[in-house]
Structure 1
Amino acid sequence: MIYPTLRHLYSNSIESYAKRTAFSLFKETPVTYEDFAQRVEKAKGLLLSAGLQKGDKVALLGTSMPNWNVCYFAVVTMGMVIVPILPDFSQDAIVAILEHSESKALFVTDKLFAKIPAEAKERLDLIIRAVNLIVVGGKKAGITAIPAVFPEPEPEDLASIIYTSGTTSSPKGVMLTHRALCNQLHMLISMIEVFPEDVFLSILPLSHAYECSLGMLYPFMQGTSVVYLGTPPTPTSLLPALKEVRPTIMLTVPLIMEKIYTRQIFARFTGNKILKTIYKVRFIRRKLHRIAGKRLYETFGGRIRFFGIGGSRINAATEKFLRDARFPYSIGYGLTETAPLIAGAVYPNNFLQSTGTVMQGISVRLADQDQETGIGEVQVKTPCIMKGYYKNPEADSEAFTDDGWFRTKDLAKMDKQGRIFIKGRLSNMIVGSTGENIYPEEIESIINQHELVTESLVVQRDGKLVALVYMQDLNQKLRDQINEVHTDILNFVNSKVGKMSRITRILEQENGFEKTPTLKIKRYLYTEIMNRKGKRQSL
Structure 2
Amino acid sequence: MDNNGYLSYVEHALKNYRQLNAFSDFQGESITYNQVGERILGLHQLYKELGIEKGDKIALIGRNMTSWAVVYLGTITYGAVIVPILPDFNSSDIHHIVNHSESKLLFSTDLLFDKLDETKMNGLLGIVSINQCISLVDNSNGKLAEKVINLQPLFKGDGKNFNPEKLDFPEIDAEAVMVLSYTSGTSGFSKGVLLPHRSIWSNIKYAQEHLILKPEERVVSFLPLAHAYGCLFEFLWPFTMGCHITFLTRTPSPQIITEAFRKVKPHLILSVPLILEKIFKKRVQPQLEEPKVKALLKIPGLNKIVFNKVRNKLTEVFGGEFREIIIGGAALNKDVEQFLRKIGFPFTIGYGMTECGPLISYAPWTESRTYSAGALVDRMSIKIDSKDPYNEVGEILVKGDNTLLGYYKNEEATEEIFDKDGWLHTGDLGVIDEQNFIYIKGRSKNMLLGPSGQNIYPEEIETTINSMNYVQECLVRDNDGKLEALIYPDYEATDAEKLTKKQIEEKLQAIKVAANKLLPAYMNISKVTLFPEEFEKTPKKSIKRYKYTK
Same fold (TM over 0.5): yes
Q: Which of 325, 348, 351 is matched with 1:307 structurally?
A: 325
Correspondences of 1:303-452 after superposition (within 5 Å): 303-369=321-387, 373-452=391-470
**Segment of structure 1 superposing worse, 443-452 or 414-423:** 414-423
Q: How far does residue 518 in structure 1 lie from its aligned partner after superposition?
A: 2.0
Q: How far does residue 29 in structure 1 lie from its aligned partner after superposition?
A: 2.4
Q: How far does residue 184 in structure 1 lie from its aligned partner after superposition?
A: 1.3
Determine the C-alpha separation between the residues in 1 that align with 2:536 and 2:420: 36
Asked if structure 2 preserves the Cα contact closer than 8 Å seen for 1:367 and 1:377, the reply is yes
The change in CA–CA distance for 1:222 and 1:130 in structure 2 (over 3 A counts) is same
Asked if structure 1 preserves the Cα contact closer than 8 Å seen for 2:450 and 2:522, the reply is yes
Determine the C-alpha separation between the residues in 2 that align with 1:133 and 1:153: 28
**Segment of structure 1 superposing worse, 323-332 or 504-513:** 323-332
Name the counterpart of 1:142: 143
Name the counterpart of 1:536: none
Asked if structure 1 preserves the Cα contact closer than 8 Å seen for 2:103 and 2:123, the reply is no
2:483 is equivalent to residue 495 of structure 1: no
**Structure 2: gaps (5+ residues):** 151-165
Correspondences of 1:122-521 after superposition (within 5 Å): 122-140=122-140, 142=143, 152-270=171-289, 287-369=305-387, 373-472=391-490, 473-475=493-495, 476-477=498-499, 479-521=501-543
Name the counterpart of 1:114: 114
State the secondary structure of the residue aligned to 1:381: strand
State the secondary structure of the residue aligned to 1:190: helix
**Segment of structure 1 superposing worse, 461-470 or 516-525:** 516-525
Q: How far does residue 5 in structure 1 lie from its aligned partner after superposition?
A: 3.1
The change in CA–CA distance for 1:461 and 1:277 in structure 2 (over 3 A counts) is farther
State the secondary structure of the residue aligned to 2:210: coil
Asked if structure 2 preserves the Cα contact closer than 8 Å seen for 1:3 and 1:182, the reply is no
Q: Deviations over 1:238-270 (max 9, x none)?
A: 333222211111111000011112233113322
Name the counterpart of 1:525: 547
Q: How far does residue 289 in structure 1 lie from its aligned partner after superposition?
A: 3.6
Correspondences of 1:14-25 after superposition (within 5 Å): 14-25=14-25
State the secondary structure of the residue aligned to 1:238: helix
Name the counterpart of 1:69: 69
What amino acid sits opposite 1:70 in the alignment? V
What amino acid sits opposite 1:133 in the alignment? C
The change in CA–CA distance for 1:202 and 1:93 in structure 2 (over 3 A counts) is same
Determine the C-alpha separation between the residues in 2 that align with 1:126 and 1:42: 18
How many equivalent residue pairs? 526
**Segment of structure 1 superposing worse, 329-338 or 282-291:** 282-291
What amino acid sits opposite 1:215 in the alignment? E
The change in CA–CA distance for 1:369 and 1:115 in structure 2 (over 3 A counts) is farther
The change in CA–CA distance for 1:410 and 1:156 in structure 2 (over 3 A counts) is same
Asked if structure 1 preserves the Cα contact closer than 8 Å seen for 2:180 and 2:193, the reply is yes
Q: How far does residue 221 in structure 1 lie from its aligned partner after superposition?
A: 1.1
What amino acid sits opposite 1:507 in the alignment? T
**Structure 1: gaps (5+ residues):** 532-539
Determine the C-alpha separation between the residues in 2 that align with 1:372 and 1:333: 18
TM-score, length basis structure 1 = 0.92
Q: How far does residue 156 in structure 1 lie from its aligned partner after superposition?
A: 2.0
What amino acid sits opposite 2:143 in the alignment? G
State the secondary structure of the residue aligned to 2:232: helix
The change in CA–CA distance for 1:68 and 1:177 in structure 2 (over 3 A counts) is same
State the secondary structure of the residue aligned to 2:383: strand
What amino acid sits opposite 1:50 in the alignment? L
What amino acid sits opposite 2:517 in the alignment? S
TM-score, length basis structure 2 = 0.91
Q: Deviations over 1:515-539 (max 9, x none)?
A: 1122111111111xxx1xxxxxxxx
Determine the C-alpha separation between the residues in 2 that align with 1:485 and 1:282: 33
Asked if structure 1 preserves the Cα contact closer than 8 Å seen for 2:199 and 2:403, the reply is yes
% identity of equivalent residues: 37
